[in-house]
Amino acid sequence: MTGKIRIIAGQWRGRKLTVPDRPGLRPTGDRARETLFNWIGPRLVGARVLDLFAGSGALGLEAASRGAARVVLVERDAAAAASLRQGALGWPGSEAVELIQADALAWLKECPEVFDLVLIDPPFAGDLHEQALALLAGPTRRLADRALVYVECAPDRLPERWPDNLVRCREKRLGQVLMTLLEYCPEERVAQPAV
């Protein structure tokens, strides 16, 4: 069984994405996407965007529709990746979107690029968002100064502690979804005590 989700603004406004019926695939709804992109505002135009755990591609494609210069979608599931290839990646203007079929965390460990916005919306059942944050905030630079990182998780999966160089700037709960927007501030890193 498949479903549809629409792009809500920008050059692809009203276009529909096919959402394959896959375990853990839970596309971000219209209300949450509208909230997120209102938070980001004009910083999206010309941005380099990474959509980890892309799933339906709704977040990354919404960013591309609204003016991001480059969007990288990383999705492990073959059916979800095939749906994106056969659908949205054929839309006019989709040349700025790259789809990588790979395990998001393994790919992120080897990622050579720096991004202005990273979207993290993995299946809610595990701690993938925490692992991704640890990699992003680690010593290998993948975030531009003042980059934004969006995390979507279940309210009971909120990390006990965010990495020191990711400062929480916005948060909202919508039903069973907790939306958090962080800003990368490398100068904010707190020195760890010597052991």
With a CB cutoff of 8 Å and minimum separation 6, the contacts of 103 are 76
Given a contact cutoff of 8 angstroms between Cβ atoms, the answer to whether 144 and 116 are in contact is: yes
> Model pTM greater than 0.85?
yes
Q: Under CATH, what is the fold of the domain 3-188?
A: Rossmann fold (3.40.50)
The pLDDT, as a whole number, for residue 162 is 80
- Whether 188 shows a pLDDT value over 60: the answer reads no
CA gyration radius for the chain? Answer: 16
pLDDT at residue 191 greater than cutoff 60: no
Instruction: Lowest mean pLDDT of 22-26, 101-105, 163-167, 168-172, name the range.
Output: 22-26
pLDDT at 190 over 60: no
- What is the chain's percent helix, strand, coil content, to nearest 5? 30, 30, 40
pLDDT-derived band of residue 25, with 50, 70 and 90 as boundaries? Answer: low
Split at pLDDT 50, 70, 90, the class of 138 is: confident
pLDDT of residue 161: 76
Confidence of residue 34 (pLDDT cuts 50, 70, 90): very high
Q: What is the 3-state secondary structure (H, E, C) of 84-130?
A: HHHCHHHCCCHHHEEEEECCHHHHHHHCCCCEEEEEECCCCCCCHHH
Q: How far apart are CA 148 and CA 49, in angstroms?
A: 10
Confidence of residue 86 (pLDDT cuts 50, 70, 90): confident
Render the burial of 110-138: b for 16+ CB within 10 Å, e for the rest.
ebeeebbbbbbbbbbeeebbbebbebbbe
Residue 41 DSSP symbol:
G
Percent of the chain residues past pLDDT 70, beyond the cut: 92
pLDDT value for 51? 96
Q: Is the pLDDT of residue 146 over 70?
A: yes
Domain ranges of the chain: 3-188
Task: Work out the mean pLDDT of the chain and round it to a whole number.
Answer: 87
Given this model, what pLDDT does residue 194 score? 40
